[in-house]
């Protein structure tokens, strides 16, 4: 709900459990007042601006203006006119002089969603949200700045973005247009970010912030594996189930800055948006610029509730609706098994084995095009390598389809190798700074998709390939970060626009792809999970989470990823052991249980498997099909974290009506001389009775210490009937399991 109190000039945005308030101090300066648990009333709140006290405010008691600007809690901080904290907005006049001073002018409430053009965004109908458009102006620069707030009625979410319009007569250069700000006053706080690297993406990192600032950022051209465009502020002692958490999640896939800063008075300002280091934008008269969106969530019930709110927001209002209830295909991908060394016969062999095991789809990964035998060649040449796929793509796909399997394909459209027909014909299509040879990474270069002829040249190849056969799924990869970004087609002003224009061009291509092939399932990927962000989820309902497919490593990666992103978006496969990345061997059952927390599939040579493993696949697939609807649509609860306790991991998914839940427990390291472990479930109906069964599917210690190995995946043991309240307060005892890396799956069903 959006309310405006005319007397106070105060905006009160409220969601079921939260309130967000800001007001126009002195009718002019927009200042932040509150973000936290829902307030019944806002009477008197604006006294927090202390307008009659020194040094407030320039208009009332005429102190020096900069004494005011340096401490006023701006709703949207600007650079250059006396606010020295991290700014959201910066612009220069035609002479390059920087400095912005915004004045509140008017507002409008629009039912439903005002969607930013050409950018991924949350969606919403008139029944589920309203949008507030607050107009601020800088009359010296001739700029209108619209602060847009979408407020959801059924979710504790406020989505912000900013639109800038040049209403003046001279061009203005925007130096930063961040998406939004979060202001808090806390005695102490922690900053939570998702830090990482290739193969170690999105590890939860918490650090105390007392002075100075903490940032998460990317300058790599993509949202990156090193930092994720997310930041949360936690009140001291916040856990999964208790305490206060404020989250900021950016719906964008390029360079970003997320920064939390404590000012001279101990107040916290967090900003988030396109990274200003690599951004400038020339706005000529009449033109406008739209920032990406940032989604703010407040939870007074711990991190777990923050997570569930983001999951609901992204599943219901970001990802294309049909994927919420549609089963995802269980696939086999040939990458880890064959890399680029395969041909049609090999793939047909994969398809046969996959069909026998009850899988749904074969995905042909990197190596099918140009003359690609290794990573030195062919990116850019999106036509079939007839040496490998004799008779062409259609022949292969038809054959696979005839077996009753769908077919998927890997592409990496943003790239080019020097050894390619595309590069030989258009050596000037890659990003390059004249006079300097661009740096290669994985022997490839990035195409300047901001140029219409490059975009068309690449897209026409994609369209032709996908039109040539019945392709149900595309894995869109992006295996290097951007460097040497320059374009001879742009003047000096235009160079600062390139990185954002690049992201817009990628979005446009994915949008076009889905328009031309509306039934396609798109999975994004970037050297594993280097572009796992809410921007890409607007186009693809799932993203490959990490090239590290080791089930034990995946515990932390999937824990960090699912802190913000729905489980159903995490690409997760069972792969071969010893694991390709870590050399670790983990039981087949455990690999499957961990992959079931995301989308599910196999990334191994299904033709040549150990018979005892092969025999388990149908049971695993059957189990996935039972678990997946709850993973996809239910509530997620993080019960224990191996990252924190160094022995075990545990999570739960609960159907929205609380009639069915699944709890996965992974004993990472076995210990001796300990009783079973008490685990308290979450999210159940306290008044209902539940039947609990457990799939031990592995080595369960018997009284004489010997393991019993007669269990197979899907063999459920009844543990009995429990009350929901008992399961949550008293808990259940997870028995001592013999051996490292063991996984148990509990099914909890209302009776």
Residues at the contact surface with ligand GLA, assessed by CB under 6 A: 335, 365-366, 410, 477, 479, 525, 527-528, 544, 547
User: Known catalytic residue: 477?
Assistant: yes
Q: Provide, rounded to whole angstroms, the least separation between the CB of residue 557 and ligand GLA.
A: 13
The nearer residue to ligand GLA, 216 or 525, going by C-beta atoms, is 525
The nearer residue to ligand GLA, 375 or 398, going by C-beta atoms, is 375
Q: Which of 227, 366, 477, 635 is catalytic?
A: 477
The nearer residue to ligand GLA, 26 or 547, going by C-beta atoms, is 547
Name the helix (H) or strand (E) containing 278: none
Q: Provide, rounded to whole angstroms, the least separation between the CB of residue 547 and ligand GLA.
A: 5
Which residue is closest to ligand GLA by CB?
366
Q: Provide, rounded to whole angstroms, the least separation between the CB of residue 410 and ligand GLA.
A: 6
Q: Provide, rounded to whole angstroms, the least separation between the CB of residue 476 and ligand GLA.
A: 10
Q: Taking Cα atoms as reference points, which of 71, 91, 68 lies closest to residue 79?
A: 91
Can you tell me the distance from the alpha carbon of 377 to that of 470, in angstroms, rounded to the nearest whole number?
26
Q: Which two tokens stand for residue 288?
A: 């406008």
Q: Provide, rounded to whole angstroms, the least separation between the CB of residue 544 and ligand GLA.
A: 6
The nearer residue to ligand GLA, 477 or 747, going by C-beta atoms, is 477
DSSP designation for 78 = B
Q: Taking Cα atoms as reference points, which of 509, 552, 548 lies closest to residue 532?
A: 548
Name the helix (H) or strand (E) containing 133: strand 129-138
| Sequence-separated (6 or more) residues with CB below 8 Å from residue 148 | 114, 131, 132, 133, 134, 160, 161, 162, 163
Q: Which of 533, 547, 550, 695 is catalytic?
A: 547
Q: Where are the alpha helices (DSSP H) in 104-196?
A: none
Q: Provide, rounded to whole angstroms, the least separation between the CB of residue 68 and ligand GLA.
A: 51
Query: How many Cβ atoms sit within 10 Å of the Cβ of residue 471?
Result: 21
Helix, strand, or coil here: 516?
helix
Q: Which two tokens stand for residue 358?
A: 């009850």
Q: Provide, rounded to whole angstroms, the least separation between the CB of residue 472 and ligand GLA.
A: 17
Q: How far apart are the first and last CA of the chain?
A: 38
DSSP designation for 422 = H
Can you tell me the distance from the alpha carbon of 684 to that of 104, in angstroms, rounded to the nearest whole number?
47
Q: Which two tokens stand for residue 604?
A: 């191994």
Please, what's the b/e burial string for 674-704 (b: 16 or more CB within 10 A of its CB; e: otherwise)? eeebebebbbbbeeeebebebbbbbbbbeee
CB 317 within 8 A of CB 334: no
Q: Provide, rounded to whole angstroms, the least separation between the CB of residue 499 and ligand GLA.
A: 22
The nearer residue to ligand GLA, 432 or 547, going by C-beta atoms, is 547
The nearer residue to ligand GLA, 532 or 544, going by C-beta atoms, is 544
CB 218 within 8 A of CB 224: yes
Can you tell me the distance from the alpha carbon of 186 to that of 193, in angstroms, rounded to the nearest whole number?
18
Q: Provide, rounded to whole angstroms, the least separation between the CB of residue 135 and ligand GLA.
A: 44
Q: Provide, rounded to whole angstroms, the least separation between the CB of residue 266 and ligand GLA.
A: 44
Q: Mind giving me the DSSP string for 603-671?
A: ES-TTS--HHHHTTHHHHHHHHHHHHHHHHHSEEEEEE-HHHHSSEEEEEEE-TTSSEEEEEEEE-S--
Pairing of strands 707-708, 256-262: unpaired
User: Known catalytic residue: 547?
Assistant: yes
Q: Taking Cα atoms as reference points, which of 751, 296, 310, 262 lies closest to residue 561?
A: 310
Helix, strand, or coil here: 151?
strand
Q: Provide, rounded to whole angstroms, the least separation between the CB of residue 256 and ligand GLA.
A: 21
Q: Taking Cα atoms as reference points, which of 98, 94, 127, 101 lies closest to residue 113?
A: 127
Query: How many Cβ atoms sit within 10 Å of the Cβ of residue 553?
Result: 19
Q: Which two tokens stand for residue 585?
A: 């061997």
Q: Provide, rounded to whole angstroms, the least separation between the CB of residue 378 and ligand GLA.
A: 11
Can you tell me the distance from the alpha carbon of 486 to that of 500, in angstroms, rounded to the nearest whole number?
13
CA distances from 113 to 127, 149, 152 (A): 10, 9, 10
Rounded to the nearest angstrom, the gap between the alpha carbon of residue 479 and the centroid of all alpha carbons in its chain is: 18
| Sequence-separated (6 or more) residues with CB below 8 Å from residue 317 | 122, 123, 124, 128, 152, 155
The nearer residue to ligand GLA, 306 or 525, going by C-beta atoms, is 525
Q: Which two tokens stand for residue 445?
A: 């270069």
Q: Taking Cα atoms as reference points, which of 159, 375, 399, 145 lies closest to residue 283?
A: 145
Query: How many Cβ atoms sit within 10 Å of the Cβ of residue 304?
Result: 22
Tell how many helices (H) and how many strands (E) occur in the chain.
Answer: 18, 42
Beta strands in 668-714 (DSSP E): 677-679, 689-695, 700-701, 707-708
Would you name the residues annotated as active-site residues? 477, 547
């Amino acid at each position: 709900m959006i309310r405006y109190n005319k007397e106070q000039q105060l905006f009160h945005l409220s969601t079921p459990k939260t309130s967000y308030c800001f007001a126009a101090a002195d009718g002019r300066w927009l200042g932040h007042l509150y973000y936290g648990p829902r307030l019944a009333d806002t009477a008197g709140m604006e006294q927090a601006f202390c307008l009659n006290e020194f040094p407030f405010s320039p208009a009332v008691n005429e102190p020096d203006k900069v004494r005011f600007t340096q401490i006023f809690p701006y709703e949207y901080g600007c650079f250059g006119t006396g606010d020295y904290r991290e700014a959201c907005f910066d612009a220069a006049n035609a002479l390059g002089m920087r400095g912005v001073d915004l004045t509140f002018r008017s507002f409008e409430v629009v039912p439903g969603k005002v969607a930013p053009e050409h950018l991924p965004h949350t969606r919403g109908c008139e029944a589920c949200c309203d949008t507030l458009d607050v107009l601020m102006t800088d009359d010296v620069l001739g700029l209108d700045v619209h602060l847009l707030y979408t407020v959801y009625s059924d979710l504790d979410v406020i989505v912000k973005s900013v639109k800038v319009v040049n209403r003046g007569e001279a061009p203005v250069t925007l130096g930063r247009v961040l998406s939004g700000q979060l202001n808090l006053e806390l005695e102490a706080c922690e900053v939570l970010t998702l830090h990482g690297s290739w193969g170690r993406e999105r590890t939860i990192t918490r650090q105390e912030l007392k002075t100075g600032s903490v940032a998460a950022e990317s300058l790599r051209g993509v949202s990156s594996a090193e930092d994720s465009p997310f930041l949360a502020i936690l009140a001291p002692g916040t856990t999964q189930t208790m305490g206060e958490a404020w989250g900021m999640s950016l719906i964008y896939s390029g360079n970003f800055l997320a920064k939390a800063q404590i000012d001279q008075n101990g107040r916290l300002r967090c900003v988030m948006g396109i990274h200003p280091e690599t951004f400038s934008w020339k706005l000529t008269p009449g033109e406008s610029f739209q920032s990406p969106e940032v989604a703010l969530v407040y939870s007074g019930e711990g991190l777990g509730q923050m997570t569930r709110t983001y999951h609901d927001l992204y599943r219901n209002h970001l990802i294309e609706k049909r994927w919420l209830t549609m089963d995802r295909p269980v696939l086999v991908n040939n990458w880890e098994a064959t890399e680029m060394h395969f041909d049609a016969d090999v793939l047909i062999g994969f398809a046969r084995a996959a069909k026998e095991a009850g899988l749904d789809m074969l995905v042909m990964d990197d190596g099918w095009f140009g003359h690609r035998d290794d990573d030195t060649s062919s990116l850019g040449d999106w036509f079939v390598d007839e040496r490998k796929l004799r008779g062409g793509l259609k022949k292969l796909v038809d054959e696979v389809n005839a077996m009753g399997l769908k077919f998927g394909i890997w592409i990496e459209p943003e790239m080019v190798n020097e050894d390619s027909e595309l590069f030989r014909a258009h050596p000037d299509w890659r990003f390059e700074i004249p006079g300097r040879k661009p740096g290669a990474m994985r022997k490839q270069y990035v195409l300047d998709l901001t140029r219409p002829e490059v975009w068309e040249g690449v897209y026409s190849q994609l369209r032709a390939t996908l039109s040539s056969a019945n392709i149900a799924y595309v894995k869109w990869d992006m295996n290097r970060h951007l460097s040497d970004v320059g374009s001879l087609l742009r003047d000096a002003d235009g160079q600062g626009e390139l990185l954002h224009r690049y992201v817009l061009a990628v979005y446009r291509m994915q949008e076009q792809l889905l328009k031309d092939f509306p039934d396609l399932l798109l999975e994004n990927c970037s050297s594993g999970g280097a572009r796992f962000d809410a921007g890409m989820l607007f186009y693809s309902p799932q993203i490959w989470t990490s090239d590290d497919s080791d089930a034990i490593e995946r515990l932390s990666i999937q824990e960090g990823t699912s802190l913000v992103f729905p489980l159903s978006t995490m690409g997760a496969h069972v792969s071969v052991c010893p694991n390709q990345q870590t050399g670790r061997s983990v039981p087949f059952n455990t690999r499957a249980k961990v992959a079931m927390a995301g989308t599910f599939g196999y990334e191994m040579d299904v033709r040549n498997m150990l018979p005892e493993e092969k025999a388990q696949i149908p049971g695993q697939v059957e189990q996935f099909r039972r678990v997946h609807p709850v993973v996809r649509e239910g509530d997620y609860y993080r019960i224990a974290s191996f990252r924190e306790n160094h022995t075990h991991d545990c999570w739960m998914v609960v159907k929205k009506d609380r009639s069915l839940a699944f709890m996965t427990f992974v004993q990472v390291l076995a210990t001796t001389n300990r009783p079973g472990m008490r685990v308290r479930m979450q999210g159940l109906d306290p008044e209902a009775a539940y039947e609990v069964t457990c799939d031990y599917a592995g080595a369960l210690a018997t009284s004489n210490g010997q393991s019993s190995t007669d269990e197979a995946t899907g063999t459920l043991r009844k543990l009995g009937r429990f009350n929901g309240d008992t399961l949550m307060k008293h808990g259940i005892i997870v028995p001592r399991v013999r051996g490292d890396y063991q996984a148990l799956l509990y099914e909890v069903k209302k009776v």
